[in-house]
Amino acid sequence: MPEPIDSLAALRGFVAAADTRSFKAAGQMLGVSSSAIGKAIARLEVQLAVTLFHRTTRTISLTEPGALFLVRARRMLEELREGEIELAEASGSPRGRLRVALPQAGNLLTRGLAAFVAANPLVDLDLDYSDRLVDIVEEGFDVAIRTGDTGDSRLLHKTLCRFGWKLVASPAYLEQHGRPAAVEDLSSHICLRQRFSSGRLVTWPMASASGVEVPVSLVSSLIDPLLGLALAGAGIASFPEFLVRDALRTGLLAPVLEGHKSMEGVMTILWPASRFRVPKVRAFVDCIAEHIDM
């Protein structure tokens, strides 16, 4: 007799592993270890008497039975989600776990998140901070906040705010290295750059418009360390204006090439069309939109 398994957790682990092609990534997505994912799928394979994945030391890939089962697994999880929606509508009050994908945005969202937690004690808020463009529907997020592309027909969205970008450096850095007078001068400066998880560098719009190639003196996958480095005098960096607003006001950072036109960004909150009927999603969207700290 095969060992009993938690079928729901195993299904979620299987779908996550199929989507990410990695037990480790699936575990990170679901908040468990990679070994827990591997063991759950192994028990599921015993129960189903099929091999769901081809495994090598580096990769996994679906077998033919695995690909067939993936279709049914997605359908079963979607049926469960629809059942949760119906029950949530019947209860009429926000409750349960709410998974939110959001970018690093300084204190911009803090007031809204705090207000939501205070007003909704029955909701367990699960925040996933990343610059990665998550697939909200496939990865099981209830809501996402983005500062970029929103083109997905499965999603509804609402604009939270619009913002500009600022080139900044510390007064100490500018005193030591001089202040660039033109975009072309950036080529002789220490430039702190951000790289998305996709591998693409975040552009400096005033430079790209002039055809200037900005040096990559230091690159980081996260924006918060770049802010710390800029404050410490390590170089010039580009940030959304809301992230450096306080540092500019207090003089910890100074604007660079301020007269050059900057690209406008937009922050948007998105959710699957089927989810806005759920009280916890509707309450979260309304609360963040009301308390955005611009």
Q: Indicate whether 40 and 114 sit together in one domain.
A: no
- The model's pLDDT over 269-291, given as tens digits with 9 standing for 90+, comes to 988 877 667 888 889 999 999 88
- The model's pLDDT over 220-272, given as tens digits with 9 standing for 90+, comes to 988 889 999 999 999 999 998 888 988 999 999 999 988 776 677 888 898 88
Mean pLDDT value across residues 162-188:
92
**Does the pTM of the predicted model rise above 0.75?**
no
258: CB partners within 8 A, 6+ apart? 167
Q: Which of 56, 85, 114 is the last residue of a domain?
A: 85
Give the residue numbers spanning the domain of 224: 95-294
Q: Indicate whether 81 and 131 sit together in one domain.
A: no
Query: Which of 101-105, 121-125, 231-235, 269-273 is the most confident on average?
Result: 231-235
Residue 4's pLDDT band (boundaries 50, 70, 90)?
very low
Does a structural domain hold residue 2?
no
- Of the candidates 96, 2, 1, 67, the residue with the CA atom closest to the CA atom of residue 40: 2
Q: Indicate whether 207 and 230 sit together in one domain.
A: yes
pLDDT at 262: 67
Does a structural domain hold residue 90?
no
Q: Indicate whether 176 and 257 sit together in one domain.
A: yes
Q: Indicate whether 194 and 273 sit together in one domain.
A: yes
Q: Indicate whether 56 and 101 sit together in one domain.
A: no
Angle at the Cα of 201 from the Cα atoms of 200 and 207, rounded to 5 degrees: 135
Residue 83's pLDDT band (boundaries 50, 70, 90)?
confident
Q: Which of 22, 53, 85 is the last residue of a domain?
A: 85
Q: Indicate whether 75 and 154 sit together in one domain.
A: no
Mean pLDDT value across residues 26-35:
89
Q: The CATH number of the domain where 117 resides is what?
A: 3.40.190.290
Does a structural domain hold residue 293?
yes
- Of the candidates 51, 30, 33, the residue with the CA atom closest to the CA atom of residue 42: 51
Asked whether residue 1 carries a pLDDT value surpassing 60, the answer given is no
**How many structural domains is the chain composed of?**
2
Q: Which of 85, 105, 122 is the last residue of a domain?
A: 85
pLDDT at 2: 44
- The model's pLDDT over 213-223, given as tens digits with 9 standing for 90+, comes to 889 999 998 88
Asked whether residue 177 carries a pLDDT value surpassing 70, the answer given is yes
For the chain, where are the E strands, in sequence order? 53-55, 60-62, 96-102, 123-129, 143-146, 155-169, 191-194, 218-220, 236-240, 254-255, 264-272
Does a structural domain hold residue 46?
yes
Does a structural domain hold residue 119?
yes
